[in-house]
Amino acid sequence: MFRTHPLEVPARLSALRARVWMRVRRPEGIGEGTRWLFVVLVLASLLLTLPAPLTAANGTLRLVAVAGAVVLGLSWGAGYLRRSAPLAMDLVDAVALLAFALASPEPTIVFPLVFAALWFRSLYGSGRRAVLRCGLYAGALGASLPLWPYVPGHTGGTEIAPLVGTFPAMFLTVIVGRHLAVCDRRHHGGDTQAVYAYAREDLDHWESVLGRNLPGGVFGENLTTMGVDVNAAVIGERWRIGDELELAVTVPRIPCGTFRGWIAEQGWLRTFARAAMPGTYLSVVSSGQVRAGDPVTVLHRPAHGVTVARVFRAVTLEPALLPSILAAEGLDEETKEMARQRRTFALG
């Protein structure tokens, strides 16, 4: 008689599986959730479009279509995991789209891929890059017209009107996509979150916890400080950095789904919250240039004593502290309202 035993999965494989799952599952937050939705839709569009060239093309063109689809899928997947889209990826996309169009019974078959890709890619990079990307895609479609008659198995020409007519819609897609890319401004931007500062000493702590190298800027901070207890800064405190720049401490950083997806660690939001080392957002009082090695000078420290760490603990895991943070005069109105209503941020 056989006896079954539970299969023990090595810890390394379990950690890898958890990390992969954190990457591919739908994250929280409108910005990161939109990115996930768009990459799913663009990959679904690729799978739904692929049968057309496979059923109508000859052996060589089938191979070209499959190769183009694989390249596009890998490029889009890598772009989502990297949370970026370098220019090289856009060039690869344009060439693969051209190859896919030429391998299809009609170039218009590639339209769904072009529009889905524009939606997805528009969430990454600057507005100027999005327009350049659209131009590359339009160029790929345009190049398919003169090349079409020279592809073996294609007879006659192809209509130019359907292709040219899509160009204005392509640029409209980019404009709308760019608006979506910056729609989550409430918790990821604004005057009170103009600058994010995090201490090098705290990054060193997380290196030991996570077991990996964490270079400056990895948490999304604009300023990586040394010798400054960022979490002990008082709300409303004024900093001078360099000769001209003056900043005011506003609110702690609240970990969100985007941050969790970037770090890709199981239970990261609560792990980060329990450490109470959030770093701080700052508003710009007067602008100026910043250079590596510039000293940070505290110009003014309010007497109320409500620190960044205290506000963070109050609005996350220690709601009993909420009444005490109302003493901070420089605290933003949204956080004050949370304190009055005894509300905290949900940490999934």
| Cα 347 from Cα 331, distance rounded (Å) | 22
Residue 139 located in a structural domain: yes
pLDDT-based confidence at residue 209 (cuts at 50, 70, 90): very high
| Cα 172 from Cα 170, distance rounded (Å) | 5
Same domain, yes or no: 197 and 133: no
In this prediction, residue 156 carries a pLDDT of 64
Q: Give 291 or 185, the one with higher predicted confidence.
A: 291
Give the domain-ending residue among 149, 181, 213: 181
Same domain, yes or no: 195 and 327: yes
Q: Give 317 or 159, the one with higher predicted confidence.
A: 317
285's enclosing H/E stretch is strand 280-286
In this prediction, residue 208 carries a pLDDT of 96
Share of the chain above pLDDT 90, in %: 40
Residues of the domain holding 218? 191-340
Residue 333 located in a structural domain: yes
> Could you read off the pLDDT of 106-131 as tens digits, one per residue?
888 888 888 888 878 877 766 777 88
Give the domain-ending residue among 124, 146, 181: 181
Same domain, yes or no: 200 and 325: yes
Among the listed ranges 27-36, 141-150, 172-181, 291-300, which one has the minimum average pLDDT value?
27-36
Same domain, yes or no: 42 and 131: yes
Residue 275 located in a structural domain: yes
Highest mean pLDDT, choosing among 1-10, 142-151, 196-205: 196-205
Q: Let me know: does 319 contact 342? Beta carbons within 8 Å.
A: yes
Of residues 48, 40, 42, the one with CA closest to residue 109: 48
> Could you read off the pLDDT of 23-42 as tens digits, one per residue?
566 655 555 667 788 888 88
Same domain, yes or no: 30 and 171: yes
The three-state secondary structure class of 1 is: coil
Same domain, yes or no: 92 and 199: no
Residue 313 located in a structural domain: yes
Residues ≥6 apart with Cβ < 8 Å to 290: 223, 241, 242, 245
> Could you read off the pLDDT of 310-341 as tens digits, one per residue?
999 999 999 999 999 999 988 988 899 889 98
Same domain, yes or no: 104 and 209: no
Question: The domain that contains 297 carries what CATH number?
Answer: 2.40.33.20
Residue 8 located in a structural domain: no
CB-CB neighbours of 146 under 10 Å: 9
Give, to the nearest 10 degrees, the angle between helix 59-82 and helix 30-49.
Answer: 170
Q: What is the pairing mode between strands 223-225 and 238-241?
A: unpaired
Residue 3 located in a structural domain: no
Residue 174 has pLDDT above 50, yes or no: yes
Same domain, yes or no: 333 and 256: yes
Same domain, yes or no: 176 and 233: no
In this prediction, residue 2 carries a pLDDT of 38
CB-CB neighbours of 31 under 10 Å: 21
Same domain, yes or no: 214 and 290: yes
288's enclosing H/E stretch is none
In this prediction, residue 246 carries a pLDDT of 95
Residue 36 located in a structural domain: yes
Residue 237 has pLDDT above 80, yes or no: yes
Same domain, yes or no: 127 and 226: no
Same domain, yes or no: 292 and 223: yes
| Number of folded domains that form the chain | 2
Give the domain-ending residue among 181, 201, 218: 181
The three-state secondary structure class of 196 is: strand
